[in-house]
Amino acid sequence: MPHPAAILCLASALGAQAPGPAASLGPVRSVSLKVLIPDSNRAAVSLDPDQVQEDLTAFFTRNGLPVLPASEVEGAEGAYSLEVSPITLQYGEGTCLLSVSERLLPLDSPKTGAKTGAKTPPREWGTNYMAAQAGDQGLLFQTRQIVLSMAAHLIRLSRGGTTPPLTVQPLAAPAQADAAQRPAPERPRAQEVDFSRVKVKVRPPAPPYPAASLSQGTEGTVIAQITIDPDGRPRRAIAVSGPAELKPTALRYAMQWVFEPARLDGEPQWATFNLTLAFRLHPGPLPNQPPKRH
């Protein structure tokens, strides 16, 4: 059997996978917050959990949603817990990884079945954003802004996706802010191109199969959206879809490529396109299974 490997497949532009339809969790009348930032000796920037908590509290308050301690809202109708875990890592030479996970779940008492007496497990919404970028410029600011946007998305989904989205206002950078705390400078709009039109200068060897995924027998396909600068070097790679445990390896691999500059009227341009990275433990196509939600 061939050694397990990440196999690169060519792909045209693909959109992000939207969550499938699901029943509404009901009205959200109050929220408690849990912010978890794991300790890491490879942190790209220093994330302050109190700052994240402050951002979220101000955001929900502006939108008329009380933020209360879990002890005050647990069991109340329309009470929810929002668990937030933002992580930044130094991820190779000159590359940073950003991962934000959020989970929204009801805090009211589980319903009990009339006949069996069994408790109905609580429904919940969860989402994850993962991206790699060259350098840490704007990384802390971007992390804080993504946390708010994801929270707004989860609240809307919990209401059945039929209500107007919550208003997410741009954050203000601190007066004495470094490059990571301030928004990254505006770039020219990247033109969308099909990968088949992109010429490759450096195609790195396929990465080793992630050890944890190998031991668990995890296979899957990661769609990575790449943005290259006018020199053809990746500046950002966003995991559009795929198993969460395979995304970090896929993003790190995507950032190692070098391409010929994309040109418009002969001039090098910023460009964006998608790569498909298929991780297979066995030769042949991936098993025909329903996609996992992440």
Asked whether the beta carbons of 67 and 32 are under 8 A apart, the reply is: yes
In a domain, 76, yes or no: no
In a domain, 274, yes or no: yes
In a domain, 39, yes or no: no
Assign residue 219 the CATH number of its domain.
3.30.2420.10
Domain that holds residue 236: 5-15+185-280
Report the number of distinct structural domains present in the chain.
Answer: 1
In a domain, 139, yes or no: no
In a domain, 34, yes or no: no
**pTM, 2 dp:** 0.82
In a domain, 276, yes or no: yes
* Full DSSP string of 218-253: --EEEEEEEEE-TTS-EEEEEEEES-GGGHHHHHHH
In a domain, 248, yes or no: yes
Please give the chain's pLDDT, 294 residues, in tens: 334 444 444 333 333 333 333 455 667 889 999 999 988 889 999 899 999 999 999 999 999 999 998 788 777 888 899 999 999 999 878 899 999 999 998 887 554 344 445 555 557 889 999 999 999 999 999 999 999 999 999 998 888 777 788 999 989 888 888 999 999 888 889 999 998 889 999 999 988 888 888 888 888 999 999 999 999 999 999 999 999 999 999 999 999 999 999 998 889 999 999 988 999 887 655 444 444 433
In a domain, 226, yes or no: yes
pLDDT at 251: 96
Task: Return the beta strands (E) in the chain as ranges.
Answer: 5-9, 30-35, 79-90, 95-106, 125-134, 191-192, 200-202, 220-228, 234-241, 258-259, 262-264, 267-269, 271-280
Cβ-based neighbours of 57, under 8 Å, separated by 6 or more: 33, 67
pLDDT at 51: 93
